Amino acid sequence: MLERCIGERRLRQIQRGVQNMKLTFLCLLLTLLVLRGTIGAGKYGTPQQDFIELRQRFISHPHRALAEQNQPEPKPKKSDKDDEPPLRSLNDPYSLGPKISDWDSQRADWIRRHPERPNFLTKTKPRVLLVTGSSPKPCENPVGDHYLLKSIKNKIDYCRVHNIEIFYNMALLDAEMAGFWAKLPLIRALLLAHPEVEFLWWMDSDAMFTDMAFELPWERYAPYNLVMHGWDEMVYKDKNWIGLNTGSFLLRNCQWSLDLLDAWAPMGPKGPVRTEAGKILTKTLKDRPVFEADDQSAMVYLLVTQKEKWANKVYLESAYYLHGYWGILVDRYEEMIENYHPGLGDHRWPLVTHFVGCKPCGKFGDYPVERCLKQMDRAFNFGDNQILQMYGFTHKSLASRRVRRVRNETSNPLEVKDELGLLHPDFKAVQHHAS
């Protein structure tokens, strides 16, 4: 019937036209698919996104950390909101606590009244409190807590051998000074509560002791109140933001230190204060990236801008690794074992290996996870070997958790001395005086 309306020729033309259209349409569809697969179509989704969605729906995520990443941020509970302090405005000055001006005499009186807790253990060795800490909440990374545990064991070992007390902090004393600034209110509280402590040694939780035999040169620091690893030229001349490191430093318990803390704190309060301060720091300091104010940059800024006031009591130590950046140390451990020995503390056998940027407790740090965790194991074992040798053991290798015996048991254990002399070292000896 159609034939008669249009005519055979016409009909065939139409048929051919329709077939061509079909082919064109099919090809267009294919092209779109391929393009979507390779270049992606943004909010309309890519096949990879489809795959991820499918996977998520059907397979449960084994890890807390990564599941959180794919879920939207949970709405903050009302109770959390109440705890958050209102953000401090720029013209509202922050204070760590009521001003104290006579701390040196208060402290001297107390020490005089309590001779059983002297601030010096021997003529030269001060009473030291090592302070470190971590969050009271479980780590987001499933093995983060395990590395924190190994790190504190490492510190317990060094401090037992060197007669140093430890304070492990898990409390946020001031919500305004959260993050890297949390150490300031903590340090002040500890200095004031422990007048018997002569030096407070702050150490980050991602720093490990790798030289168990190295005793700090306390006599060198007698004229100083703040000892940090760093270089004078990099701080005072270059104004470089990594000219010093606040991951491991010594602070004397005295009025000067309280004043320093008060001068250091203003850039810390969360919110517009910290953000604005960050801009000033990036502008003033060399190579500093753009981010909110951190305690280390603020310290450099303080020393540079108020040099006359503080610099004469600050010692920037570079003769040994009071802080040792892990990147240049961890691959050389075997070389060190072959060529050197513990007790040097410097590039030959670092006192501290500091895993800056690794963040084992958080989700992802600045470095690949594998390198960080494996190297932390090596650093831990490197230090642990020096402790185990006291008892006649050593790790099978720097990567192995297992230990093997290197010294046989004997029926005269007291005649055997450990190679490094760490069982009864001089720096642990008690002042021999009539008690």
Query: Residues 1 to 20: which contact other proteins by CB under 8 A?
Result: 8-9
Which listed range, 241-249, 334-342, 343-351, 363-371, lies at the site for other proteins (CB under 8 A)? 363-371
Closer residue to other proteins in complex, CB, 290/414: 414
Closer residue to other proteins in complex, CB, 139/235: 139
Which of 125, 126, 128, 134 is in the footprint of other proteins by CB under 8 A? 134
Closer residue to other proteins in complex, CB, 319/416: 416
Closer residue to other proteins in complex, CB, 107/183: 107
Closer residue to other proteins in complex, CB, 73/338: 73
Indicate whether 168 belongs to the interface with other proteins (CB under 8 A). yes
- Residue 421 CB, nearest approach to other proteins (Å): 13
Which listed range, 13-21, 25-33, 243-251, 296-304, lies at the site for other proteins (CB under 8 A)? 25-33
Indicate whether 364 belongs to the interface with other proteins (CB under 8 A). yes
Indicate whether 148 belongs to the interface with other proteins (CB under 8 A). yes
- Residue 136 CB, nearest approach to other proteins (Å): 3
| Furthest CA-CA distance within the chain | 130
Range 334-372 burial, b when 16+ CB lie within 10 A, else e: eebeeeeebbbbeebbbbbbbbbebbbbebebebeeeeb
The amino acid at residue 395 is: H
Which listed range, 259-267, 297-305, 340-348, 370-378, lies at the site for other proteins (CB under 8 A)? 370-378
Site for other proteins in 376-395 (CB under 8 A): 377, 384, 388, 390-393
d(CA 98, CA 172): 19
CA distances from 415 to 67, 191, 403, 412 (A): 57, 42, 24, 6
- Residue 87 CB, nearest approach to other proteins (Å): 19
d(CA 399, CA 329): 15
What does residue 325 show for φ and ψ, rounded to 5 degrees? -65, 125
Site for other proteins in 399-418 (CB under 8 A): 400-403, 409-414
Indicate whether 24 belongs to the interface with other proteins (CB under 8 A). no
Site for other proteins in 208-227 (CB under 8 A): none
- Residue 234 CB, nearest approach to other proteins (Å): 34
- Residue 53 CB, nearest approach to other proteins (Å): 10
Range 131-167 burial, b when 16+ CB lie within 10 A, else e: bbbbbeeebbbeebeebbebbbebbebbbebbbbebe
Q: Which two tokens stand for residue 176?
A: 């305004």
* Contact residues for 337 (Cβ-Cβ < 8 A; gap 6+): 382
Which of 94, 104, 146, 259 is in the footprint of other proteins by CB under 8 A? 146
- Residue 194 CB, nearest approach to other proteins (Å): 9
Which listed range, 48-56, 259-267, 297-305, 328-336, lies at the site for other proteins (CB under 8 A)? 48-56
d(CA 97, CA 261): 10
Q: Which two tokens stand for residue 18?
A: 């329709």
Indicate whether 37 belongs to the interface with other proteins (CB under 8 A). yes
d(CA 260, CA 258): 5
The amino acid at residue 276 is: E
Indicate whether 38 belongs to the interface with other proteins (CB under 8 A). yes
The radius of gyration of the chain from alpha carbons, rounded to an integer in Å, stands at 31
Site for other proteins in 301-360 (CB under 8 A): none
d(CA 408, CA 20): 90
Burial label for 293, CB within 10 Å (0-12, 13-18, 19+), is buried
- Residue 293 CB, nearest approach to other proteins (Å): 24
Which of 87, 166, 254, 311 is in the footprint of other proteins by CB under 8 A? 166
Which listed range, 34-42, 209-217, 299-307, 327-335, lies at the site for other proteins (CB under 8 A)? 34-42
Indicate whether 137 belongs to the interface with other proteins (CB under 8 A). yes
Which of 87, 280, 311, 369 is in the footprint of other proteins by CB under 8 A? 369
Cβ atoms within 10 A of the Cβ of 434, count?
3
CA distances from 329 to 335, 352, 360, 391 (A): 10, 10, 18, 27
d(CA 106, CA 94): 25
- Residue 237 CB, nearest approach to other proteins (Å): 39
The amino acid at residue 228 is: M
Closer residue to other proteins in complex, CB, 24/49: 49
Which of 87, 118, 120, 165 is in the footprint of other proteins by CB under 8 A? 165
